[in-house]
Amino acid sequence: MIKTETNLPDISEIPEKNHPPAKRRADIPSIILMAVTAVLITAAGFYYKQHPLHILPLYVSLVIGALQAKANRVASLLGGINSILYALVYLYLGLYASALYAILFSCPVQLVTFVRWNQRKYGSSTLFRKMTAMERIVVSAAFVISVAAVMFILKLLKSDYSFIDSLSSLMGILISFLTMFAFIEYTWLMLPNGIIGIFLNIATMKVHPEQMTYLIFSFYSLICVTRGLFRVRGLYKEQQLEMIREKALSDIDSNE
């Protein structure tokens, strides 16, 4: 009896489900980058005689940035805790609105993100997804309208850097929610937001030169989010291949 072949996809090179890559060795370049950035932040802090409390959250943020570069879900947990430290800094500086934002928004959103990512584990990360075309259109339209509205309010308040302020703040909020729901688009937005953060810190330094510590960190952060973009894209592709493998195995079972 002659056995006929079925046209099933080749699954030999597709990774098995829930089988993330083997543990890697210590990321020496990341450790060196983190150490150099920490030294520069410390030096700038001493030079401008900043209060230790002012720069303490930055040291924690260095670790968070390294975790974000690897799309590690623990980054959100540490980020939520670090928001409390930032709130203390804002209270010390008399920035009460920023302190409320850190406690009432940033902290809970990041903690919820950690819980959600933890519920859909994939190695040290989570299962990612893409927004639909309609979702992108709706979110983009809402974002543009929100930026215009906030800019108008800031201009009425005669705030400096109204455009860059509103753009950075609203983009940060959007990124937070996209991250919470594990949409890979959050990584795309983190790049321009990182660049905006650099320019915002440079502009702030004209009045507050001690902002140099945060400017140094913003360059470090931009490197981390760039690495995170490629990491998330790689994970998403890997996860999609696993879905194809599942379907192929299902087709094989149904044809036996």
Give the best-scoring range by mean pLDDT among 100-104, 174-178, 204-208: 174-178
159: number of Cβ within 10 Å? 12
With respect to residue 160, please indicate whether it lies within any of the assigned structural domains: no
pTM of the model: 0.82
With respect to residue 142, please indicate whether it lies within any of the assigned structural domains: no
With respect to residue 215, please indicate whether it lies within any of the assigned structural domains: yes
Round the average pLDDT of the chain to a whole number and report it. 85
With respect to residue 213, please indicate whether it lies within any of the assigned structural domains: yes
- Nearest Cα to 224, choosing from 194, 256, 189, 180? 194
Pairwise CA distance, residues 73 & 67, whole Å: 8
Is residue 113 a contact partner of residue 144, using CB atoms and an 8 Å limit? no
Pairwise CA distance, residues 229 & 185, whole Å: 9
Structure tokens at 128: 């990612």
Pairwise CA distance, residues 211 & 217, whole Å: 10
Average pLDDT, integer, range 166-177:
88
- Which residues span the domain enclosing 122? 28-129+184-255
User: Per-residue confidence at 159, pLDDT binned at 50, 70, 90?
Assistant: low
- Model confidence over 201-235: pLDDT tens digits? 888 888 888 889 999 999 999 999 999 999 999 99
Pairwise CA distance, residues 21 & 42, whole Å: 36
Residue 10 has pLDDT above 60, yes or no: no
Pairwise CA distance, residues 235 & 128, whole Å: 8
Residue 99 has pLDDT above 60, yes or no: yes
Q: How far is CA 144 from the centre of its chain?
A: 21
| DSSP single-letter state for residue 211 | G
With respect to residue 190, please indicate whether it lies within any of the assigned structural domains: yes
With respect to residue 21, please indicate whether it lies within any of the assigned structural domains: no
**Residue 198 CA: distances (Å) to CA of 84, 142, 223:** 23, 25, 12
- Domain tally for the chain? 1
With respect to residue 156, please indicate whether it lies within any of the assigned structural domains: no
- Intra-chain end-to-end CA distance of the chain, in Å: 16
Structure tokens at 73: 């879900």
Supply φ then ψ for residue 125, to 5 degrees: -115, -140
- Model confidence over 59-84: pLDDT tens digits? 999 999 999 999 999 999 999 999 99
With respect to residue 155, please indicate whether it lies within any of the assigned structural domains: no
